Amino acid sequence: MSNYPLISLAIWTPIIAGLVVLATGSDRNAPLARMLALAGAIAGLVVAIPLWTGFDVALGTMQFVELSSWIPRFNINYHLGVDGISMLFVVLNSFITIIVVLAGWEVIQQKVAQYNAAFLIMSGLMNGIFTSLDGILFYVFFEASLIPMYLIIGVWGGPNRVYAAFKFFLYTLFGSLLFLLALMYLFIQSGGSFSILDWHKMPIGLGPQIWLFLAFLVAFAVKVPMWPVHTWLPDAHVEAPTGGSIVLAAIALKLGAYGFLRFSLPIAPDASHELSGLVIGLSLIAVVYIGFVALVQEDMKKLVAYSSIAHMGFVTLGFFMFSAMGIEGALVQMVSHGFVSGAMFFCIGVMYDRVHSRQIADYGGVVNTMPKFAALFMLFSMANAGLPATSGFVGEFMVILGAVKFNFWVAFAAASSMVVGAAYTLWMYKRVIFGDVANHHVAELSDINNREFLILGVLAICTLWMGLYPQPFTEVMHASVNDLLRHVAISKIQ
């Protein structure tokens, strides 16, 4: 099994497929471009699945490792591998790519090949981020993945797309510059190594650790995004096309959170302990403050965007409690959020395609004309509110339970999302879906077609599966998370 370079396949299959799609050229070949894109996305998932099925759950170390020299002069290597922390995200990303290609099937009629190519290439680059074990390789993937997203928002986006694309790009670029400085520092300190695994083992004094931690924090906090560097996300979501929102929510937000586990905690464990209060404080602000902000949004996409920030607050909270429940709960929350927020944004896209409005006030009584859609949207809304038997519950439950052990009042603040999260989600649902038919736009709505039903149905199955039987998802994490916790518990100060 591991004779094949599986990770390279997971990275390059979608990228090559993307280039092939790009080669189809103008919109005259749009049907071909779509078919090729779908085939490429499916191939991407097919090559990613053996990573999960062939994964040895007993091992906490890197698996499917690939190592070859890239730029020998600076000791930069093409070094790839997955562990229990990153593996699921490769699979999730490859899966979401299929959803995204299908989501734009009928909606995108302009520059079809370029649109699909952007998503496929981005998918490959993101797999690269999750699997890189070399600092420079990581950085290259990390920065390169900004470009397709920038283009997706800037070209296929809404009326205010240029402002949103710039805001997105500058925010993340600002963060990654500090990150690059940190990489340089580590390269010099380690005596010329860009290997992330070497950096994990390298002793560092508390002072430098704190500077490193802060540099990482800025870079990753922007990506997650954490309060107060979150304001690019609602704008980006509102302007992005449906597919862009899905990738942004389901995958892009996970990159920052993943960075905490791959860089901040293992490289600067003492600083992580030292500054955990800061991160937990910011996470709780995200959960509570953003929850209230979400409550008063009038634009559905903004509402779900803010709810994403609140859900990601649970993730960062879980990481910095330094317990297995916390970290695994956070990882589960990340995967679940991929399904649920992806589905939520798709649902909003379904309505937007028909009515061309995202304003809650423009809807009302959608259930009368779209009963199938209303039922599925109900499921995802409930998952967003963290109802048991949906995936949304599992992560929240684990993080809250972990938090009670950590500190009762932290748990208290986090658990308040049970009320606020339900309030903003169900209030939106009530105003949009229930009630009498509000206007002629709603009266003329047609229920979801087979393509839309397929997408939502598959996501619904994932959501329920993960809610009813999360064990397959968490069992792959145990060994790696336990290794990480043991590692973080040992001081690096000499």
Partner 1 sequence: MEMQKLYLLVPLAPLFGAMIAGLFCRVIPRWVAHTVTIAGVAIAFFASVAIFNDVQAGHTFNGTVYTWLTSGDYRFEVGFLIDSLTTTMMLVVTFVSLMVHIYTIGYMQEDPGYNRFFSYISLFTFSMLMLVMSNNFMQLFFGWEAVGLVSYLLIGFWYTRPTAILANMKAFLVNRVGDFGFILGIGLVLAHFGSLDYATVFQKAPEFANTTISLFEGRDWATVSLMTVTCICLFIGAMGKSAQVPLHVWLPDSMEGPTPISALIHAATMVTAGIFMVARMSPLFELSTTALSFIIVIGAITALFMGFLGIIQNDIKRVVAYSTLSQLGYMTVALGASAYSVAIFHLMTHAFFKALLFLAAGSVIIGMHHDQDIRNMGGLRKYMPITWITSLIGSLALIGTPFLSGFYSKDSIIEAVALSQIPGAGFAYFSVLAGVFITAFYSFRMYFLVFHGEERFGKGAHDTHHDDHHGGHDDEETTHDHHHGLAPGQKPHETPWVVWLPLVMLAIPSVAIGFIAIGPMVFGDYFKGVIFIDHHAHPAMEHLSEHFHGAVAMGLHSLTSLPFILALSGVVTSWFFYMKRPDIPAAIQRRFSWINTLFENKYYFDKINEVVFAGGARVLGKAFWRGGDVATIDGVMVNGSAKLVGWFAAITRFFQTGYVYHYAFMMIIGVFVLMTFWINRA
**Binding residues vs partner 1 (CB under 8 A):** 167, 171, 228, 231, 289-290, 292-297, 323-325, 328-329, 365, 367-368, 371, 378, 382, 387-389, 393-394, 397-398, 400-401, 403-405, 408-409, 411-412, 415-416, 418-420, 422-423, 426-427, 430, 433-437, 468-471, 474-475, 478
| CA separation for the pair 105, 112 (Å, rounded) | 9
Instruction: Please give the Cα distance from 481 to 468 (Å, whole number).
Output: 22
Which run of H or of E encompasses 12? helix 6-23
Nearer to partner 1 (CB atom), residue 34 or residue 337: 337
Label residue 39 exposed, middle or buried (CB < 10 Å: 0-12, 13-18, 19+).
middle
Query: How near is the Cβ of 147 to partner 1 at its closest, in Å?
Result: 21
Ranges of beta strands (E only) in 204-275 are: none
Gyration radius of the chain over CA positions: 21
Nearer to partner 1, 210 or 324 (CB): 324
CB of 397 to partner 1, least distance (A): 7
Nearer to partner 1, 81 or 386 (CB): 386
Closest approach of partner 1 to the CB of residue 173, in Å: 13
3-class secondary structure per residue, 421-463: HHHHHHHHHHHHCCCCCCCHHHHCCCCCCHHHHHHHHHHHHHH
* Residue placing its CB nearer to partner 1 in the complex, 132 or 390: 390
Q: Which DSSP state fits 226?
A: P
- Give the nearer residue to partner 1 in terms of CB position, either 70 or 289: 289
Q: How far is the CB of 477 from partner 1 (least distance, A)?
A: 8
Question: Do residues 312 and 226 make contact, with C-beta atoms less than 8 angstroms apart?
Answer: yes
* Smallest distance, partner 1 to C-beta of residue 40, A: 33
Question: Of 171 and 194, which has the nearer Cβ to partner 1?
Answer: 171
Q: Output 15 or 428, the one with its CB closest to partner 1.
A: 428
Report which of 307, 304, 428, 422 is spatially closest to residue 362, judged by C-alpha positions: 428
d(CA 324, CA 398): 10
Amino acid at 493: I
Q: Cβ closer to partner 1: 192 or 472?
A: 472
Measured from the CB of residue 262, what is the shortest distance to partner 1 in angstroms? 20
Name the minimum Å distance from CB 359 to partner 1: 16
- Rounded CA-CA distance 412/317 in Å is 13
CB nearer to partner 1: pick between 125 and 382: 382
Least separation in angstroms between CB 431 and partner 1: 9
Q: How far apart are CA 244 and CA 491, in angstroms?
A: 41
Q: Report the candidate in 286, 305, 237 with the shortest Cα–Cα distance to residue 413.
A: 286
Min dist CB 416 to partner 1, Å, is 7
365 vs 451: CA distance, rounded Å = 23
Rounded to the nearest 5°, which phi and psi values hold at 393?
-75, -40
Q: State which residue, 95 or 171, has the beta carbon closest to partner 1.
A: 171
Whether the link from the prior residue into 472 is cis, omega within 30° of 0, is: no
User: DSSP label at 232?
Assistant: H
Nearest one of 66, 64, 54, 62 to 84, comparing CA atoms:
62
Q: How far is the CB of 161 from partner 1 (least distance, A)?
A: 17
Closest CA to 96 of 336, 375, 288: 336
